[in-house]
Amino acid sequence: MKAIREWLDDRTGYRHLLYEALYENVPGGSRWRYVWGSTLVFTFAVQLITGMFLWMAYSPSSTNAWESVYYIQHEMLLGWMLRGIHHFTAQAMIVLLALHLMQVVIDGAYKAPREINFWLGLILLKIVLGLSLTGYLLPWDQKGYWATKVATNIAGITPVVGDQVQKLAVGGLDYGHHTLTRFFALHAGLLPALLVFFLVLHIYVFRRHGITAPDDEWQGQRDTTFWPDQVLKDGVACLAVLATVLFFVVWHGFNSGSGAELGAPADPAESYSAARPEWYFLFLFQFLKYFPGESEVIGAMVIPGAVVGFMFLMPFTGRWKLGHRFNVLFVFALLAGVGVLTCLAAKEDRANPEYVAAVKAADTNAERVKQLVELNGIGPEGAVHLLRRDAKTQGPKLFATHCGVCHRFDGHDGSGKVPTETATASDLGNFGTRDWIRAMITDPAGDKNFGATKHGSWNGEPLEDRFAGGAMAEWATENVKSGQMKKEEIDGVVEFLIGQAVAGGGRRDLDPPLFDAEATGKEFFASGSDNVTTSCYGCHEMKIDDELFKAGSDAIAAAPDLTGYASEKWLKEFIGNPGDKKFYGKRNAMPAFAGTLTDLELQMLVDWILHRWQEPQK
């Protein structure tokens, strides 16, 4: 064994190298306060290792990036943990960088002859921030996408070259495949290579000058060597960092079933009000709020540039005793400023109901897309299409945009917001259910039904009593409110119409009609009874068992054909063209949506109103 070591040492000189690495003199003995640099090297090594393994499963393209990260997270063995460690170690690095910087400035380790090493450290700091920024985009989820859009747009306002810088970063006019390939090459190739290069220089220069021991405190204490005393302290510190990271990973995994957050897939068409940078960039985000209009460049570049520029000059200002004190104060003030801005940003967001709602919606979408992937798998066009074609996700938005102007849905506009304006059409929250039909018979002029139309107008004409005091309302006053129509008859018509909805198809949400009551209802619908003025088909047309019941000759006014009422098909036709003569004809006061909505949109809207969407099987 000894002979082999001799042979190897003779050829390589490894003993000297080991000696240089391990037996550096530590003046005044090993200290806990010297561990920061080592923990940073350690976290970088963790990022290299985990990053390399993530690389083996990651695919940088706009149809595959999110999907491959999803695969790492949910399908690969310990993939969630791998991703979690990479995610949280990145954040640990930022914290450790701040601590390392403070340590260096407080101890005056930036002063001559260590100026160059201080500058190398500042360069390393910028590289690490660059790694964070580029890494944030790679999962190609809504959060990363919109945050990066903001970051690259800010780069775009750089005087003179901004436009070019932005196009080069984005890899073209818009965000897509080449944004990912470029960011990935920066994140996994160029920036780590630069970091290794500057780190080697940093450590070399550090070793050249040795540890900065404040002589007043350290006076008279025994010197030691790096190995094993300081190595042990460094090791314990690294273990503490690792334990902290693992704690966050497991904690996050326990809370959300994943080691690191993965939002819904990036969708340029889907605005994302919850877009925020990673927490350690929040101060910059907040800072920009104070620079109105054209002055943004001052907040985004001039001031941060001046701050970093001053830090580069600190070795010179630190030559004077007061200068050093000023530098220490400056770094503390800077970190305090960053802290205050970060808190302000968080506080403003917490107090902003729209932001809170956006975060909640983002979580809902992230959870929903996971369900959809589990139910359907991911097709060649990528996971974003799962959400784009999902009635549960798109329905509320379509309703809010197209229907919520007049109608309500359980009192809100479909998306959950309660409009301040009064509704001018019915509340469709329970459309086509037993409650809905019953209300239409017993109280058609109620506020949640035709009553709301009193406040509306059509083609500039107020609707007033067109529906609120229309034939149905009159019929109900004469026959139902007066108590003429019997309870069995009402129940019967309800069940009969439910039968129409169920038979018409697409209503999984309804229990099938009660048989006897349905028969009663059918009889009443066609013939009425002695105690009512006219039967339903006096106005409403219907095909029963292939026999067409023409609206009676004494029809008061056009009323909708109730064949297959409130079924998927009926509702689609109705929304498509409510003014058709089989619906409201000339009395109609609702826009036809056949040309406004695409077939897919109409289908999703109808599916949503009828509660038809995919749910995971229990």
Partner 1 sequence: MTEQTTKEAQTRDAIPRRSFTRRALAVVIGGVTGLVPALVGLASFLNPLRKSVQARQRPDGFDAEGFVKVTRLEALAGESPGRFQIIANRKDAWNTFPKEPIGAVYVQKVSDTELRVFNVECPHAGCSVDYKADKRGFLCPCHNSLFAQTGKRSETSPSPRDLDSLEYKIQDGDVWVKFEKFKAGVKEKHAT
How many residues bind partner 1 (CB under 8 A)? The answer is: 45
Provide, rounded to whole angstroms, the least separation between the CB of residue 283 and partner 1.
Answer: 29
Residue 380 interacts with partner 1 (CB under 8 A): yes or no: yes
Q: Which amino acid is at 156?
A: G
Query: In terms of DSSP H, where are the helices of 279-352?
Result: 282-288, 296-297, 303-317, 321-350
Q: Map the footprint of partner 1 across residues 360-379, applying CB under 8 A.
A: 377-379
* Of residues 579, 583, 588, 538, the one with CA closest to residue 564: 583
Which residues, 6+ apart, have CB-to-CB distance to 504 below 8 Å?
563, 564, 565, 566, 567, 568, 569, 570
Chosen residue from 35, 46, 387, 493 binding partner 1 by CB under 8 A: 46
Provide, rounded to whole angstroms, the least separation between the CB of residue 380 and partner 1.
Answer: 5
Residue 450 interacts with partner 1 (CB under 8 A): yes or no: no
Residue 79 interacts with partner 1 (CB under 8 A): yes or no: yes
Question: 359, exposed or middle or buried, with CB in 10 Å at 0-12, 13-18, 19+?
Answer: middle
* 549: helix, strand or coil: strand
Q: Which is nearer to partner 1, 369 or 542 (CB)?
A: 369
Residue 67 interacts with partner 1 (CB under 8 A): yes or no: yes
Residue 45 interacts with partner 1 (CB under 8 A): yes or no: yes
Residue 42 interacts with partner 1 (CB under 8 A): yes or no: yes
Chosen residue from 41, 49, 250, 519 binding partner 1 by CB under 8 A: 49
d(CA 609, CA 432): 9
d(CA 59, CA 378): 15
Provide, rounded to whole angstroms, the least separation between the CB of residue 46 and partner 1.
Answer: 5
d(CA 341, CA 469): 59
Q: Are 422 and 455 in contact (CB under 8 A)?
A: yes
Q: Which is nearer to partner 1, 26 or 566 (CB)?
A: 26
Chosen residue from 26, 28, 40, 50 binding partner 1 by CB under 8 A: 50
Q: Which is nearer to partner 1, 94 or 341 (CB)?
A: 94
Residue 242 interacts with partner 1 (CB under 8 A): yes or no: yes
Provide, rounded to whole angstroms, the least separation between the CB of residue 14 and partner 1.
Answer: 12
Provide, rounded to whole angstroms, the least separation between the CB of residue 76 and partner 1.
Answer: 4
Beta bridge partners of 25: 225
Q: Which is nearer to partner 1, 232 or 306 (CB)?
A: 232
Q: 116: how many CB neighbours lie within 10 A of its CB?
A: 15
DSSP string, 394-443: HHHHHIIIIITTT-BBTTB-SSS---SSPP-S-BGGGTTSHHHHHHHHH-
Provide, rounded to whole angstroms, the least separation between the CB of residue 63 and partner 1.
Answer: 9
Chosen residue from 8, 21, 52, 200 binding partner 1 by CB under 8 A: 52
Q: Which is nearer to partner 1, 44 or 475 (CB)?
A: 44
Count CA atoms within 13 Å of residue 585 on its CB side. Answer: 10
Q: Which amino acid is at 436?
A: W
Provide, rounded to whole angstroms, the least separation between the CB of residue 249 and partner 1.
Answer: 9
Provide, rounded to whole angstroms, the least separation between the CB of residue 70 and partner 1.
Answer: 6
d(CA 555, CA 577): 22
Residue 75 interacts with partner 1 (CB under 8 A): yes or no: yes
Q: Which is nearer to partner 1, 64 or 258 (CB)?
A: 64
Residue 235 interacts with partner 1 (CB under 8 A): yes or no: yes
Provide, rounded to whole angstroms, the least separation between the CB of residue 197 and partner 1.
Answer: 22
Chosen residue from 16, 126, 289, 347 binding partner 1 by CB under 8 A: 16
Q: Which is nearer to partner 1, 207 or 438 (CB)?
A: 207
d(CA 379, CA 424): 42
Provide, rounded to whole angstroms, the least separation between the CB of residue 584 and partner 1.
Answer: 42
Residue labelled with tokens 């050093």? 324
d(CA 325, CA 314): 11
Backbone phi and psi for residue 460, each to the nearest 5 degrees, phi listed first: 85, -10
* Of residues 495, 492, 488, 505, the one with CA closest to residue 571: 505
Which of left, alpha, beta for 477 (phi over 0: left; psi -120 to 50: alpha)? alpha
Q: Which is nearer to partner 1, 34 or 524 (CB)?
A: 34
Beta bridge partners of 409: 412
Chosen residue from 72, 275, 369, 490 binding partner 1 by CB under 8 A: 72
Provide, rounded to whole angstroms, the least separation between the CB of residue 543 and partner 1.
Answer: 38
Provide, rounded to whole angstroms, the least separation between the CB of residue 544 and partner 1.
Answer: 42
Q: Which is nearer to partner 1, 141 or 427 (CB)?
A: 141
* Of residues 163, 138, 4, 126, the one with CA closest to residue 64: 138
Chosen residue from 85, 120, 331, 361 binding partner 1 by CB under 8 A: 85
Which residues, 6+ apart, have CB-to-CB distance to 342 below 8 Å?
279, 282, 283, 286
Provide, rounded to whole angstroms, the least separation between the CB of residue 51 and partner 1.
Answer: 9
Q: Which is nearer to partner 1, 113 or 228 (CB)?
A: 228
Beta bridge partners of 427: 408
Q: Which is nearer to partner 1, 68 or 365 (CB)?
A: 68
Q: Which is nearer to partner 1, 229 or 447 (CB)?
A: 229
Q: Map the footprint of partner 1 across residues 215-234, applying CB under 8 A.
A: 225, 227-229, 231-232
Residues forming contacts to partner 1 in the complex (CB under 8 A) are: 15-16, 19, 23, 42, 45-46, 49-50, 52-54, 56-57, 64, 67-68, 70-72, 75-79, 81-82, 85, 89, 225, 227-229, 231-232, 235-236, 238-239, 242, 246, 377-380
